[in-house]
Structure 1
């Protein structure tokens, strides 16, 4: 299938994680600094020993935007965010205890989430949003770039991030993710930012999205 062209749903500097078993067309967005780190360097020790606060992660509370025109199909906004992170136990839970087949319903796995349908019939899932941050409701008509919510740490989440994928059916636990590309973003090369169009950054490659992209 030809990749679907969308506007990137976040702004700023980001990278894609690629956890084991993750579908290649489902992306985990993580905000990073100039050194491609998701938090200040010293915070790694706190993360290992379960003392890292979600507020120390750059992705926490970052705004999420609509990647296309469409309408809101579903909203979940009441799941709690885990406030402290422990890398070892969270990875164990994410890889074993938190697999999709063990989740009884979408809220358990995706936490606070939005499902949006484009005017062309494609669905988008935005997952692990911050409790109470969702700014839209079911039935709302949305324009590209409208703010939707903020990134949180709800559901089966190792650290604050945005899980995003496209699908043909409104079945986020079972639908196969569809390929997509960004209409515009920037990649850094020799300390210079280069504009890219209708492509997608590779996993763990730092990219940037600015206003108007």
Structure 2
């Protein structure tokens, strides 16, 4: 497969997957609706079967592409500067094993989530009440996000709203339902507002769940290590304001292989570990 092959395949899959899921959902809702209304109108079972076949084939194709991208031994970790400053806590990181987020899809094999943990302002704990909170209740919201190396900006996606938190037991069902819909719709819906930097030598850094309107760089722009490029938000598939960070082999997470990282002076913090950058 040529270099352009995976990109064309990814573009086709990102069109087929939501189409298949959308058609199946629409046909089922239509059938339920006409039955509740007592109408004699019915959809052919072949239509539902065809839509389901598109969905299943697209999923199988995606699994094949993910496995193909991750063939061979794991590469050596790439050392970069930390993407934040101050006191933070790590979650869902690769120090305790990969894939850190339970999947290698979207280049997430060695991804990490981090949330601000200042000593003078602890964040709200996960619990039963209140079901949702405003983002300002979390110390990570609005914190600067930094370039981890001298790099070129290759992707900027902004405009998605910062939603309320989902860090409670009552909100978890909503979060999982949203996650299913976002995954079916494609990586942009999972990542929310995000940024990709080209670090050179086939290494790309992705920052996800960024605050709407906070991205300060444009595609094609050169940035310096330590430069503020955005702020932490709560967009996309996120339970609370935090930064999702990963390195990957291409600028497109749909076709990327996840790459291991080390933060200079810190290493790779374990789940629940507090670190200072």
**TM-score computed with the length of structure 1 as normaliser:** 0.80
> Is this contact kept in 1: 2:132–2:171, CA < 8 A?
no
SS in 1 for 2:258: coil
Query: What corresponds to 1:204 in structure 2?
Result: 272
Name the structure where strand makes up a greater proportion of residues.
1
Which of 247, 256, 267 is the equivalent residue of 1:175?
A: 256
Q: How has the CA–CA distance of structure 1 residues 54 and 134 changed in structure 2, closer, same or farther, with 3 Å as cutoff?
A: same
Counterparts in 2 of 1:125-164, with a 5 A limit? 125-164=206-245
Q: Which has the higher contact order (CA 8 A, sep 6+)?
A: 1
Query: What corresponds to 1:26 in structure 2?
Result: 111
**TM-score computed with the length of structure 2 as normaliser:** 0.63
RMSD over aligned Cα, in angstroms? Answer: 2.5
Counterparts in 2 of 1:68-107, with a 5 A limit? 68-95=149-176, 97-99=178-180, 102-107=183-188
- What is the CA deviation profile of residues 154-212 of structure 1, one whole-angstrom value per residue up to 9, with x for unaligned ones? 11110000011000012214423211001124xxxxxxxxxxxxx21111110001xxx
Which of 84, 98, 103 is the equivalent residue of 1:10?
A: 84
SS in 2 for 1:52: coil
Runs of 4+ residues over 6 Å off in structure 1: none
- The structure that has the greater radius of gyration is 2
TM superposition shift of 1:70: 1.1
Name the structure where helix makes up a greater proportion of residues.
2
Residue-pair matches, total: 192
> Is this contact kept in 1: 2:182–2:190, CA < 8 A?
no
Q: Which runs of 5+ in 2 are unaligned?
A: 1-74, 93-99
